[in-house]
Structure 1
Amino acid sequence: MATKQLNTSVDKALYDRLDRLATRTGRSRSHYASEFIERGLNDLEDHYLLKDALEEFHASDEDSIAHEDVDWDSLGR
């Protein structure tokens, strides 16, 4: 996988926590920073895509279906 470098600053307490985790597990600080960015980005994308979809739904004036009225067994078939 091609990679690009990203430089950022964090406060000392966060840096120290990251350093302790890296030392304890034998992985690099960069490994955990990259993992954290990926997980956080996934969460943020989900949040904002859902927020936008909900706003779009509310603006559409479409009818909703109550959760208990959904035939869950027929979905995906």
Structure 2
Amino acid sequence: MPTSVRLPPETEKRLDRLAASTGRTKAFYVRELIVSGLDRLEWEYSVAQNAHDIRAGRRRTIPSDEVRRTLGLEG
């Protein structure tokens, strides 16, 4: 899907330098950044949503002493 992105001039220059020094296209690096950045963003937002759900009482947590007892890590 064609997409247009407006970049700050310094970011554009950095992307130009990277593409020129590696022989890859700027589009290649933009795709790479989106794919890897999307993984990170999805993880970060899921962590934030889980924390929100815990605070709102919609998600059950397990006390650490119960975890230690269940795993036989007491003592």
With normalisation by structure 1, the TM-score equals: 0.74
Per-residue Cα deviation, 1:16-60 (whole angstroms, up to 9, x for no partner) = 100110111111000001111111111111111111112112222
Give the partner amino acid of 2:57: S
Task: Quote the residue 2:34 is aligned against.
Answer: 37
Instruction: Pick from 49, 53, 63 the counterpart of residue 46 of structure 2.
Output: 49
Task: Quote the residue 1:65 is aligned against.
Answer: 63
The offset of 1:13, in angstroms, is 0.8
Unaligned runs of 5+ in 1: 72-77
Cα-Cα RMSD:
2.1
Moved over 6 A (4+): none
Is 1:5 aligned to residue 2 of structure 2? yes
With normalisation by structure 2, the TM-score equals: 0.75
Give aligned-pair identity as a percent: 26
Rg comparison, structure with higher value: 2
The offset of 1:65, in angstroms, is 2.5
Unaligned runs of 5+ in 2: none
